[in-house]
Amino acid sequence: MDSTILNGDSLEIVRCPTSELCRGDVIRAGTGRGLNAHRIVGIGERDGAQEIITRGDNAIRCDPPVAADDILGRVAQTSRTTNIRKSLPKSATITRFAAVLVRRLRARFQQ
């Protein structure tokens, strides 16, 4: 799955009670690694406290559970504020790599 939010995007965060959050919402939360905006994949309880399970769109594994107190809000809107150059298709990347390799090999063998 492609990322919905890219580095440099602006996020509009709306405060909401955790009771209004549901699976599939993207939330902004403070974690041990800093602030992140990840999608909710599960909501549960542990020791009487509500915990939210999130995962980044490109991640294979879920993040550690987030306590309800660590959630800053739901991402309501994103906007692209940066001029992000689209990445080249894989075929173009492979072609570029092959061209550099051939150029280096020619230079080495022509000496």
What is the pLDDT tens value at each position of the chain, 111 positions in all?
Answer: 455 777 777 888 999 888 899 999 999 998 877 888 899 999 988 888 888 999 988 888 899 999 888 899 999 888 876 555 555 566 667 777 788 888 888 878 876
pLDDT of residue 1: 46
Q: Are 10 and 79 in contact (CB under 8 A)?
A: yes
pLDDT of residue 3: 59
Query: Which amino acid is located at 58 in the chain?
Result: N
pLDDT digits (tens, 9 = 90+) for 53-85: 999 888 888 999 998 888 999 998 888 765 555
Kindly list the strands in the beta sheet with 71-79, ordered across the sheet, starting from the edge strand earlier in the chain: 10-14, 71-79, 26-31, 34-46, 49-55, 66-67
The candidate with the shortest Cα–Cα distance to 45, out of 25, 59, 65, is: 65
